Structures are given as C-alpha cells and as structure tokens.
Amino acid sequence: MCFDRYASRLLYISRSYALANVNRLIPEQSLPPHESSPDGSLQYHLSHLPPLEDPLSPMTPLAPSIPSITADYSSRDTRIMSIVNLTPDSFSDGGQHFNTSSSALTETIKSHIAAGATILDLGGQSTRPGAPQVSSSEELSRILPAIQVMLSLPEAKNVAISVDTYRADVAQEAIKAGAHIVNDVSAGLMDDSMLSTVAKLGCTVCLMHMRGTPETMNKLTHYPDGVVETVGRELLERVRAAEAAGIRRWRIILDPGIGFAKTQEQNLELLRRLGELRRFPGLQGFPWLVGTSRKAFVGRITGVTKASERKWGTAAAVTAAIQGGADIVRVHDVEEMGQVAKMADAVWRVED
C-alpha cells in the first residue's frame, strides 16, 4: 500500500473514531453549522463520511518483525506456514525431524525459510487420528530446542514462530521461550486453561474447528444443519469463549479444520464455500488459516497412497483455499506451495 493511501486511511480512521466517540459522549450536541450539514449534528457528519476504496480491516499481529495480516484487503499476499513436525508418528513425515541433531534441525529450518515460509509451525504432539498422547514435558522437550534454534538464526528474524499444541502449559512455556503464535487444533476445548492462558500471554492464537479428540473425531461427522452452517456456528462459540477469557478479537485467526471430524465430501464443501464461511455472521473480518497439505482425502481423490507424493492434489486444494479467501496456508512442501500461492494470488488477489 502506498504511503498516501495509507495516510488517507489513517486520517479516515481517526476522523470516524473521533466523531463516533464524541457522538456517544454528547449525542445531543452539534458541530458548528456547515453548508454540507443542514443541522450540524455529529450523527450527520458521521453518516456522511466518504466511502473507502477498501473496507477497514483489523490488523492481526503475527510477530513483531513481520507485517500483520489485514484479512479484508483484496490485494493481500497469502502467508506460507511451514509444517515442522518434531514427532516420531505424524501421518506424513513422522520421524523425519524427531530427536534429530541441532545441526540437522538448523538446516531444516533454514531450508524452509529459504523456500519462502513466513511462519514455521512447530509440533511436538501428533494430532493424526488415533495418535497416542505424550506428556507435556515430552512435548516441550521436542519444541523448545527448535524455538532456540530459530531465535539464533539471522535468517529467521522475519519469520513468525507458531506452536501447534492444545495444552496450556506447553503454550505458556513456548511463548515465554520466544514463540509468537499458539495454533490450537481444539480451539481451547481440550484444555480448559488454554484460552485464559493465551489471554494472559497476549499472543495471537489460531482457533481450529474440531470435535472430540484425535481418537474420536472421525466418529463425529454428523452435521444435520449443513457443514458450513454448523462449523460457522461452532467456531463463533469458540470466538465468544476466547473473548470472554480475555483474548482480543484482533489476536484471533480461524481455521475450518479440514480433515478434522469431517468426511471427504464435507472437506470439499468447506473448500468450495470458504467464502461463505468467512462471511458467516459474527466471523467477518477474521483471518483464516487452511491446512490441506498431503491429507488423506487428497490421497483418496487422486489415488496417491504415499502422503509425501500428494503434492499435485495439495496444490489444487491450496488454490481453492486462496480463491475462497484463506490468508495462511499450512503446508509441508514449502517451495512448491509457495509458487502455487504466488500464482493463485496473481489470479485472485486483485483490487476490487
């Protein structure tokens, strides 16, 4: 955005904010009469502000050194969230980065950043269906060394560190160690302390739609009111719970939970109708993260059994997510999906 346009938007915001607040405090008062305002009322001035080229958009911080997400800007760039599984049992690349040396982990992180990742999502607990649950201490023993590596790398200074966890104590220790984002697949449902902990930490949180637990979610796919309507309603409940716990609205990212308590057809419908979900009453203006990378439904549709070979199907799903308005795509194949995102942005992220 050019400086003049940015400055004009700041002036507009300042003016509208001032008028709105003065109108609340002294609604019976009037501004000095002007030819453009027959009665000089504050409400008249407020209602007759000229429209903006783009709607006002909340700014969702990711990390201090990188630009915030402005979800309503039509020409925004899609952010690439790189998956770094530090577990022995994740569905796609389990074991690849588990218990690895510091030098090997450093090279992995450098390669993801060089390939175009602007967010690295560190996971120490697998959430694949039926995954065994490890202790918080074990999860932290996997995550904290990776955070320290990232903080030591000059290459990572403009990259946000996300922690993929549903445990409040893990989130707290990770953020204190230098991470920026908590990515909770349960949106606070699997740990009653998560939302209040995030509120105290003051960090950004991603709330994903899921039902049950990784062990039970595949049995909870009944959506009698329709998957878009129900996911929207259930996510809105989690947003309200987050706000009630003290999390600021501009600190929330939403995720429709592709592959979590969803059938293949429900996953596809969410991708087709993501734009509708983004406009669900009460959810407007939030940034959205979508993760389709190498997932089982992609393999079933394309006939590719091996998860690491599902790049082509993932690429199509990433394009669909960006068309629907996703702000962040969570991927394994960073370089390839980065190119897909750039092309999709060129097609779909244009000025209205």
Determine if residue 187 is left, alpha or beta; phi over 0 gives left, psi from -120 to 50 gives alpha, anything else beta: left
Q: 257: Cβ–Cβ under 8 A, 6 or more apart, which residues?
A: 185, 208, 209, 210, 231
For 200, phi and psi rounded to 5 degrees? Answer: -65, -35
Q: Are 180 and 160 within 8 A, CB to CB? A: yes
Instruction: Report in angstroms the alpha-carbon separations of 217 from 18, 212, 220, 235.
Output: 48, 5, 5, 16
Distance CA 92, CA 89 (A): 8
Please identify which of the residues 167, 294, 330, 349 carries the catalytic annotation: 330
Q: Are 139 and 125 within 8 A, CB to CB? A: yes
For the chain, the distance separating the N- and C-terminal CA atoms, rounded to the nearest angstrom, is 14
Please identify which of the residues 211, 295, 310, 311 carries the catalytic annotation: 295
Task: Answer yes or no: 295 catalytic.
Answer: yes
Task: Answer yes or no: 311 catalytic.
Answer: no
Give me the active site residues, please. 295, 330
